[in-house]
Amino acid sequence: MENISFDENGPEEQARHQRRKKQLIWAGVGLTAVILAIIIWQYWQYINSDYYRDYGSDKTTEKTWIEIVKQAKNPLKSSLLSQIFNFFNDGSLTSRPALTIVSESSLLQSRPKPQKTISPILTTPSQPTPSYRVGDLVINEIMYNPGGADDKHEWFEIYNNSGHAITLTGGNNGWRFHDGSNHLLNEPPTNSSRGSLTLSAGEYAILSDNAITFLSDYSGYNGTIIDTVMSLKNSTSTLKIIAPDGIIIDKITYLNSWGANGNGKTLERKTAAGGSNDASNWAESSFNGGTPGTINNYNKN
């Protein structure tokens, strides 16, 4: 029998290898084009989806989606690409295990939704309205009949009988003085009012019909003086101190029979704890002009 030899390096075999090589090159070009088309199509679907519009600004989850798209670059994930691969594969090429194609809707559903957190609205807590009690401030000394002309020379003293500081705010929503009519307090420096409106516990302040006249009468006085309107009758009057919340903190109805009736002296309270309308808790001052801004020094007779 005649032996037939096969030259694997012969012209025919070389031509076959050249054809195979060209086929593989064109297959690679085709695969690349298909991959690019798939990626462009998937991205176009993604940016036109409701999910992208709702969550596209979330950089973390968008990065996760891009990683999923990158995994789809393997051409063997597509059944169409697998057929193209197998058409040119004569067994000399090895494919990786087939992968499952995931639809766009599955990708979007599997993509974690960003947690939308609502930041609490920070507000500055409002300061509570101070609560005042009867007796926190008391009317402590009264110059109701200085002798001679009363005009602009009348005044009375208040005393902080509480255990804390009290601020005497003026204006329409502030403290009021009542002598038959309500009168507002003029905050310093209005009408020559001066000093601090915040009275510490145990501190005094003067409410005067005229601050300038008072300072002329009492040139040595260095405390708080608040100018207001007042008209204290020489016979009897009712005086009230009213807090901003409407509470009457102190009220007194004095009589000229209690003393200090036109002799240049004042009517002084004996004790802050004693009754405001108790005649026995009031006495005429020992000194002419009284003791504004200091401890009372009344006639003990």
Burial 27-66 (b: 16+ CB within 10 A, else e): beeebeeebeebeeebeeebeebebbeebeebeebbeebe
Q: Which residue has the higher pLDDT, 41 or 58?
A: 41
In a domain, 256, yes or no: yes
In terms of domains, do 274 and 208 share one?
A: yes
Helix (H) or strand (E) holding 140: strand 137-143
Last residue of a domain, one of 110, 125, 158: 110
**pLDDT at res. 126:** 55
Quote the number of domains for the chain. Answer: 2
Q: What is the mean pLDDT of the chain?
A: 79
Regarding whether 146 and 206 lie in a shared domain, the answer is yes
Same domain? 277 vs 182: yes
pLDDT of residue 70: 55
pLDDT at 84 over 80: no
* Domain-embedded: residue 26: yes
Instruction: State whether 141 and 62 are in the same domain.
Output: no
CA 79 to CA 96: how far, in whole Å?
13
Q: Where are the beta strands (DSSP E) in 161-281?
A: 166-167, 176-178, 182-184, 198-199, 204-208, 224-227, 236-242, 248-255, 267-269
- Gap between the Cα atoms of 95 and 182, Å rounded: 100
Specify the pLDDT at position 95: 47
Higher pLDDT, 131 or 190: 190
**What's the rounded Cα separation, in Å, for the pair 156 and 232?**
10
pLDDT above 90 coverage of the chain, percent: 45
If asked whether residues 94 and 143 sit together in one domain, one would say no
Q: Does 6 fall in a domain? A: no
At residue 129, the pLDDT reads: 55
Residues 247, 169 share a domain: yes
More confident residue, 99 or 40: 40
What gap in Å lies between CA 213 and CA 3, rounded to an integer?
147
70 with 181, same domain? no
Q: How confident is the model over 226-284, as pLDDT tens digits?
A: 999 898 999 999 999 999 999 999 999 999 999 999 999 999 999 999 999 999 999 99
Instruction: Report how far residue 6's alpha carbon sits from residue 11's, in angstroms, rounded to the nearest whole number.
Output: 11
Q: At what angle do helices 59-71 and 11-47 cross, to 10 degrees?
A: 160
Q: What pLDDT does residue 107 have?
A: 53
Query: pLDDT band at 76, cuts 50/70/90?
Result: very low
Same domain as 212, residue 73: no
CA dihedral over 16, 17, 18, 21, signed as positive or negative: positive
Q: In the predicted model, what is the mean pLDDT of residues 28-45?
A: 81
The answer to whether the Cα torsion of 202, 291, 293, 144 is positive or negative is positive
Which among 60, 75, 110 is the end of a domain?
110
How would you list the strands of the sheet with 137-143, edge to edge?
224-227, 204-208, 155-160, 137-143, 267-269, 282-284
Range of the domain at 158: 137-284
Residue 16 pLDDT more than 70? yes
Number of Cβ within a 10 Å radius of residue 224: 21
Is 177 part of any domain? yes
- Per residue in 115-127, pLDDT (tens digit) is 655 555 555 555 5
75 has pLDDT over 50: no
68 and 20 share a domain? yes
pLDDT tier at 169, thresholds 50, 70, 90: confident
The Cα 139–Cα 74 span in angstroms is 94
Tokens of 265: 């002296």
Q: Look at residue 119 and tell me if it is in a domain.
A: no
What per-residue confidence (pLDDT) applies to 60?
Answer: 47
Please check whether residues 103 and 176 belong to one and the same domain: no
Residues 183 and 274 in one domain: yes
- 159 shares a domain with 79: no
